[in-house]
C-alpha cells in the first residue's frame, strides 16, 4: 500500500480500513482498464458470432455490480412511540 512501518503503527483502525478500501479501489480500477483493453483487442480478431455480449460477461470483476457513490445504509425496523417509551423506562 505504500506505507512506512511507522505510518502503519500510527494509524487508527478507521484510517487503516479507509486505506485498504482505497488500495482495493485502485487495483479494481486498473484491472477494469486491462479488461477494456483486452475486450477491444478481442473484438478486433474474434468471430462476432462467438463473442460474449459485453466486456462484463467476457471478464467478470468484483466491481461490476457496484454503483458509484456511497453504499445504502441498512435501516432497522423503527420503534413505535409506545415501544420507545417502554425502552426509556427500562433504561432508568
Q: Which domain holds residue 26?
A: 1-66
The answer to whether position 56 is within a domain reads yes
Specify the pLDDT at position 62: 81
Q: Does a structural domain hold residue 26?
A: yes
| Rounded Cα–Cα distance for residues 51 and 40 (Å) | 12
**Domains: count for the chain:** 1
- d(CA 57, CA 59) in angstroms, rounded, equals 6
Domain assignment present for 81: no
User: Between 12 and 70, whose confidence is greater?
Assistant: 12
Report the predicted TM-score, pTM, of the whole model to 2 decimal places: 0.56
Q: Tell me the pLDDT tens digit for each residue of 33-91.
A: 999 999 999 888 888 888 888 888 888 888 887 655 555 566 677 778 888 888 888 87
Cell of 77: 425496523
Q: Is residue 31 part of a domain?
A: yes
- Whether 83 maps to a domain, the answer reads no
Amino acid at each position: 500500500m505504500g506505507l512506512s512501518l511507522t505510518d502503519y503503527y500510527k494509524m487508527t483502525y478507521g484510517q487503516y480500513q479507509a486505506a485498504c478500501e482505497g488500495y482495493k479501489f485502485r487495483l479494481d480500477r486498473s484491472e477494469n482498464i486491462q479488461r477494456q483493453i483486452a475486450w477491444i483487442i478481442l473484438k478486433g480478431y474474434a468471430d462476432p458470432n462467438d463473442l460474449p455480449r459485453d466486456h462484463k460477461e467476457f471478464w467478470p470483476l468484483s466491481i461490476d455490480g457496484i454503483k458509484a457513490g456511497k453504499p445504502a445504509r441498512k435501516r432497522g425496523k423503527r420503534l413505535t412511540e409506545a415501544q420507545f417509551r417502554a425502552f426509556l423506562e427500562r433504561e432508568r
